[in-house]
Structure 1
Amino acid sequence: MTEERSSRGGGRRGRKHVLVREYVRSVIVSAEPGTPAPSERDLAEQFGVARMTVRHAIDALVAQGLLERVAGRGTFVTKPLIDMQMRLSAYTEEMERRGKKPESRTLLARRESAGPGVARALEIEEGSAIVHWQRLRLADSVPMAIQHVYLSLDLFPSFLDEALPSSLYFWLAMRDLMPTWGEDSVLAGIATEEEAEHLELDPGAPVLHISRRAFCRENVVEVTRSVYRADRYTLWVPVLRPEHLR
């Protein structure tokens, strides 16, 4: 019985650490670089936890590049890489969350026939009519990613007849089709000559390939295949230990 109580107590401490970490993240997310982080003493009192728990939370944010410790002075907000959190959000939302100005340049927008991979991802018949929309995504005028969006023309028959939206997710929300969940896959790769030219990289520079299927309820509404600059992003993925292993 003693061992079981100890295990459960550890689980509570673990959740407290996450709570403190995410609270501090929310406080500093829009803060200017150089802003002091909340003090460990104040956080310990606010959350009713030990200073060590607070320190673990701060350590995690330091490791993610959001905070930096300066010897003899304290802990401060740093200027981080743009972090790609594995959550379902629009590029525009992510850039605005980081205090950056999002921009897009359409490189291609046309009707195509779905190949086997795209058809399987969109859950439609091979050869079905689809939209292929390729954009260069920028932040503060700096190229960040090339994004290929694939949409079913059966689901969105007039998409190419309208002005292309500045944010696809906002456009979907206006039609009550905002994605509610999705599946992402990430692969490391190197930039082709064409990708390097658009992203202002040397050919062969490292990039991240991220593929996404986004669902509204049980329907696939979007498939994207994106190429991100690896030197501009850090990928942040929260992981949890299953309850039965605590």
Structure 2
Amino acid sequence: MTIMTSRPPGLSKHEAIRDSLRQMVLAMTPGTALPAERELAERWGVARMTVRQAIAALAREGLIRSVQGRGNLRAAEHVQLRVRLGSFADALREQHLDPVTRLLEFTREPEPLAAVAAFLELGEEPVWRLRRLRLGDEVPLALERTWLPVALLPDLTEEQLRGSLYGLLEARSLRPDEGEESVVADLPDAEEARLLDISPTRPVVRLTRRGRAGGRPVEYAEAVLPADRYELWFPLERTR
């Protein structure tokens, strides 16, 4: 057992423990569980409340996240995501992360949401609806729902959707080349929190994308991103 017998001048016991814990956490691999509060308290010869305060401070810094049933984990580094019309998997590779897509739902929807039908100009036509969980280095980073007109992709299969959706659209000259994306902050619902492996009290960012290819609407998509796992970049242009 390591007992802390001294601390740098000017630092309170809580601050000294916080700094020691920060050094420990920074040396850990993202996703690794911290030792239990009791073990840390015994190691440093302090009360568990002092350790708990240090953990809370590092959680506010984004270095630690608490997961029910798994304890306190070393948080993943922020993903610097530039908001643009492009492949999410490619964006993760730019951050040296290994992208994985889990297809959760793939169905033909005859009556989509009004906003979806209006943008895609469906009329009485059906739409494909797919839901995917996107991971980087096995960490859940986004939960997506996407709607695509069946008329444009009549032979779409589940196997094709396990690869790059934008790669598939590009091969058919349907990759969006213009559009818009709106952003709002929110809290996740119970299922979103479970799939993204976050607390229901953790804020999320909701992105809504409307993409067109050659002026034709081809994609309506909604994404839910854990806010504390991202640093979003928005390209800016001078207003004309």
Contact kept? 2:206, 2:223, Cα under 8 Å? yes
Distance in structure 1 (CA, Å) of the matches to 2:88 and 2:172: 19
Distance in structure 1 (CA, Å) of the matches to 2:212 and 2:160: 23
Distance in structure 2 (CA, Å) of the matches to 1:216 and 1:91: 18
Q: Mapping of 1:67-86 within 5 angstroms? A: 81-86=78-83
Match of 1:122 among 120, 129, 132: 120
Distance in structure 1 (CA, Å) of the matches to 2:195 and 2:188: 10
Q: Mapping of 1:47-62 within 5 angstroms? A: none
Change (3 A) 1:80 1:205: closer
The equivalent of 1:147 in structure 2 is 144
Q: Does 1:223 align with 2:220?
A: yes
Give deviations 1:87-140, integer Å, cap 9, x for gaps.
211101100111111111011111112231110121222x53111100000000
Contact kept? 2:89, 2:164, Cα under 8 Å? yes
> Counterpart of 1:238 in 2: which secondary structure?
coil
Match of 2:200 among 199, 203, 224: 203
Give deviations 1:46-89, integer Å, cap 9, x for gaps.
xxxxxxxxxxxxxxxxxxxxxxxxxxxxxxxxx96212212211
* Superposition RMSD in Å: 1.8
Task: In structure 1, list runs of 5 or more residues that go unmatched.
Answer: 1-78
The equivalent of 2:84 in structure 1 is 87
Distance in structure 1 (CA, Å) of the matches to 2:160 and 2:238: 46
Superposed displacement of residue 162, structure 1: 5.5
Contact kept? 1:191, 1:206, Cα under 8 Å? yes
Distance in structure 1 (CA, Å) of the matches to 2:182 and 2:170: 24
Distance in structure 2 (CA, Å) of the matches to 1:164 and 1:84: 22
Match of 1:187 among 176, 184, 187: 184
The equivalent of 2:108 in structure 1 is 111
Question: What TM-score, normalized to structure 1?
Answer: 0.63
Identity %: 34
> Counterpart of 1:222 in 2: which secondary structure?
strand
Question: What TM-score, normalized to structure 2?
Answer: 0.64
Partner AA of 1:177 in structure 2: L
Partner AA of 2:208 in structure 1: S
> Counterpart of 1:158 in 2: which secondary structure?
coil
Task: In structure 2, list runs of 5 or more residues that go unmatched.
Answer: 1-75
> Counterpart of 1:111 in 2: which secondary structure?
strand
Match of 2:235 among 218, 238, 244: 238
